[in-house]
Amino acid sequence: MREALEFSAVLRQDSRIPRAEKLAYVDTVLDLLNLTHLQDAVIGTPAAGLSLEQRKKVTIAVEVVAKPAILFCDEPTTGLDTKSALRVVKLLRRLAKTGLAVIAVRPLALEQQLT
């Protein structure tokens, strides 16, 4: 997982930022998202590797290490059980509290159920 984050940070952050600073930011994101314990894990497939919740968090982390101005999440909780969805939403809230603009879209099916 760490490799995916480092790859994203090095390639997507501004080229004027030193490589060491980009890699240090990966550590910051791993800590912020409570993913440090999984940094050496193989992401895998639905049958093997990280759980769906963990893969969603890794996907979010891959975007965050790029230092975007806005984090747009299209249905970030789709396919998750209630507890996992809550943990992902709390993670997004934690990111928003750092000053990152976070936009999350909920599934249309849910929207139709609520009306």
Cα distance between residue 98 and residue 82, in whole Å: 25
pLDDT for 44 equals 79
The model's pLDDT over 43-67, given as tens digits with 9 standing for 90+, comes to 877 677 888 899 999 999 999 999 9
pLDDT for 111 equals 53
The model's pLDDT over 5-41, given as tens digits with 9 standing for 90+, comes to 999 999 999 999 999 999 999 999 999 999 999 999 9
User: Model pTM?
Assistant: 0.86
pLDDT for 114 equals 55
Residue that the structure tokens 């969603």 belong to: 56
